[in-house]
Amino acid sequence: MDHAKLSGDLKEIRKRNHALSILVGVLSTCVLVALIIIVKVVGTERTIVVPPTLSKSFWLTTSKASASYLEQMGSYVAWLILDVSPETIDWKKKELLSWVAPEEHGAFKVKQEVEAERLKRMNASTYWLPQQFVPNEETQSVVIRGRLKTQVNGQETTADSKAYLVEFDYDGGRVHLKGFKEMPNEQQAAAQSAAGDDDARSK
């Protein structure tokens, strides 16, 4: 028996086994990392994030936001649009457009530019005092009721009760503003009645 050849063959086998062990270890690590990523991606995942203004905790899933988030974002959007003066409307318009859904960006931009020109021409300001929020998680919207005051040259001219429907769309990991419109009087009454029913049930 050639002991030298046998010893050499054993060393070569040990080398190959060692290399295979390292390869198996690397592959096992890759599989484990892939499984962790898949577990995180698949299924409903709630993400806690911070909105522009904070007063309540909230959650976001892959397809919708909680009622408390809708209230806070609706309040913030209403403040950007309704609580403006010739000095603030330009930067508030810029901030608002950063939240608008891409397909609605052009319409919102034109509307806010027209409003900015009007306020500057009249030296007017509007002040929004929210009084009631009625969120709807199914439609990802919130009805906001309150009083809108208007001043021209520092003198108050109107103080009307108003209701606005703020609509959102959750896409790509972020909530976008999809719509903002004043509600007719009959819709305001329906929203108030629904809110009253909710308050009665909660009591």
Question: Of 16-25, 67-76, 80-89, 176-185, where does the model show the most confidence?
Answer: 80-89
- The pTM of this model reads 0.64
Residues 6+ positions from 78 with CB-CB distance below 8 Å: 128, 130, 144, 146, 164, 166, 180
Beta carbons within 8 Å of 51's beta carbon, 6+ residues apart: 58, 69, 72, 73, 76
Beginning with the edge strand found earlier in the chain, give each strand of the sheet holding 141-152 in spatial order: 124-136, 141-152, 155-171, 174-182
Half-sphere exposure in the Cβ direction for 176 (13 Å, CA) = 15
When pLDDT is cut at 50, 70 and 90, the band that residue 46 belongs to is: very low
What structural domains does the chain harbor?
67-202 (3.10.450.230)
pLDDT in tens, 5-15: 666 666 777 77
Tokens at 85, concatenated = 């003066």
Whether pLDDT at 190 is above 70 = no
Task: Judge contact between 109 and 94, C-beta under 8 A.
Answer: no
Mean pLDDT of the chain: 79
> Average pLDDT in the 97-126 region?
94
User: Tens of pLDDT along 71-109?
Assistant: 999 999 999 999 999 999 999 999 999 999 999 999 999
